[in-house]
């Protein structure tokens, strides 16, 4: 657990790899590299971690891989401009636009997007990944051409009018045939 509160500061060296750490960032304290720069700006790899951001923008611009990491993003922007792979990761994005255009692979992961425009234009590999979209936003994945789901039940769900989940170039969906490998595609309360 790496948390600062009541204007406290934790100074870290050139932190590049984070594994198994919960990092809540809400602006009540500072995670700083020695010299005062943001400590999160030097991170290149996240594994089995949780980033929870609210009230203040977060610089994770050097992260390229986030394996099995949870991102909870509430009404702020998190700079993930170099994130290429986030397999087994979850993204819960509410209330602020998020640029994830560098992201190419999220397998066996999930996206919960509510009221946020999230750029997933280059995300191509989404095998086993669930989508829950709400809040009258369109989410388009033009790079996805095929999907295979063999790792449990799969869900693509949109809820609410003007909420759209679009796969304009999708040609093939392959689902497993074993128990607990159902695939649910749901448009609820006017979602498309």
Q: Do the domain assignments include residue 1?
A: no
Question: Is residue 3 assigned to a domain?
Answer: no
If residue 65 lies in a helix (H) or strand (E), which one and from where to where? strand 65-67
Residue numbers of the domain that contains 176 = 16-27+44-188
In a domain, 176, yes or no: yes
Cβ–Cβ < 8 Å for 110, 91 = yes
DSSP summary character for residue 88: T
**Tens digit of pLDDT for each residue in 116-150?**
999 999 999 999 999 999 999 999 999 999 999 88
Number of domains in the chain: 1
Instruction: Please state whether 41 falls in left (phi above 0), alpha (psi between -120 and 50) or beta.
Output: alpha
| pLDDT grade for 32, boundaries at 50, 70 and 90 | low
Q: 40 in helix, strand or coil? A: helix
- pLDDT of 11: 64
pTM: 0.91
Q: What is the mean pLDDT of residues 9-38?
A: 71
């Amino acid at each position: 657990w790496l948390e600062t509160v009541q204007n406290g500061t934790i100074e870290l060296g050139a932190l590049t790899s984070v594994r198994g750490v919960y990092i809540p960032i809400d602006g009540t304290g500072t995670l700083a590299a020695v010299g005062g720069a943001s400590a999160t700006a030097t991170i290149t790899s996240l594994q089995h971690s949780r980033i929870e951001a609210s009230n203040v923008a977060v610089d994770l611009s050097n992260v390229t891989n986030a394996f099995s990491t949870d991102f909870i993003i509430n009404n702020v922007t998190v700079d993930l401009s170099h994130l290429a792979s986030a397999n087994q990761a979850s993204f819960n994005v509410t209330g602020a636009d998020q640029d994830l255009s560098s992201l190419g692979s999220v397998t066996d992961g999930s996206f919960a997007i509510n009221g946020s425009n999230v750029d997933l234009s280059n995300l191509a590999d989404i095998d086993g990944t669930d989508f829950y979209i709400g809040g009258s936003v369109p989410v388009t994945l033009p790079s996805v051409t095929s999907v295979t789901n063999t790792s449990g039940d799969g869900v693509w769900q949109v809820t609410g009018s003007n909420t759209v989940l679009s796969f304009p170039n999708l040609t093939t969906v392959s689902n497993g045939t074993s128990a607990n490998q159902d695939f649910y595609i749901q448009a609820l309360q006017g979602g498309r």
